[in-house]
Amino acid sequence: MEEDDDGMSTTELAQPATDQCGSGITLQEAAEFIWREAEMLDRHDYKPWLALWAPGSHYVIPIEQDEKVDAAGALNIAYDDVEMREARVKRLRSGFAMSSAPAARTARTVSRFVTLGDDAGVLTVRAVQHIVEYKFERTRILAAEVLYGLRRTGPDIALARKEIRLINSDDPLWGIGYLL
């Protein structure tokens, strides 16, 4: 076992967190769920993506960088409940939304998973996401810190909340014709 300057074991840091109290979701299970969700979005596989959400859940892209600001009472790029998520997917699939015709090709990487808490049966995980988008002979990169609220629903895991904090959310953004 190696120790760094603070006396912490690098072996201890590398061990996945286990969580058998509130949510019953391990960090490994959370990471695997988040990777599956990312693959669904890159493949534009929206029907199973919509099924990942728990009742009463929200998909949020705040403008404000301060995590202490309650997104429910602030101006956001998106603050979607089930009806708004379904409407957004319908627009993306229809081809009638200017930002989604043609659909952008994306490849995303999600990493640096950190558990922040496990309250009321919801495991909160913070991760970093990089999305490479290709559309109209142009490639761009978006980066964000993402907060996932995950809830166990029987043998499955569901999204209770997904909050995408784009690192440039307070800058002018081009049309984003896909789900983050």
Per-residue pLDDT of 70-82, as tens digits, reads: 888 888 889 999 9
Asked if 61 and 154 count as a contact pair (C-beta separation under 8 A), the reply is: no
For 28-76, the pLDDT digits (tens) are 999 999 999 999 999 999 999 999 999 999 999 998 888 888 888 888 8
Mean pLDDT in residue range 2-18: 46
Facing residues of 127 across strands?
146
> Which tens digits make up the pLDDT trace of 130-139?
999 998 888 9
Q: Which residue has the higher pLDDT, 7 or 131?
A: 131
User: What Å distances lie between residue 103 and 60, 99, 166, CA to CA?
Assistant: 21, 8, 21
- pLDDT tens track for 110-150: 999 999 999 999 999 999 999 999 988 889 899 999 999 99
| Max avg pLDDT among 9-13, 101-105, 137-141, 171-175 | 137-141
SS3 label, residue 81: coil
Q: How far is CA 26 from CA 10, 20, 23, 94, 177, in A?
A: 20, 8, 9, 37, 33
Least confident interval from 3-7, 107-111, 144-148 = 3-7
Beta strands per DSSP E along the chain: 53-62, 76-80, 105-119, 122-135, 138-153, 156-166
Q: What is the pTM of this model?
A: 0.83
- Helix, strand, coil share of the chain (percent; to 5): 25, 40, 35
CB 122 within 8 A of CB 22: yes
Rounded Cα gap, residues 178 and 134, in angstroms: 11
Alpha-carbon distance 134 to 50, whole Å? 24
Quick one: pLDDT band at residue 169, thresholds 50, 70, 90? confident
What does the pLDDT average to over 7-29? Answer: 61
Distance CA 134, CA 102 (A): 11
Residue 70: partners with Cβ closer than 8 Å, 6 or more residues away: none
Structure tokens at 56: 């009463």
Question: Hey, what are 25's tokens?
Answer: 């979701």
Residue 135 belongs to what H/E stretch?
A: strand 122-135
Determine the pLDDT at residue 95. 65
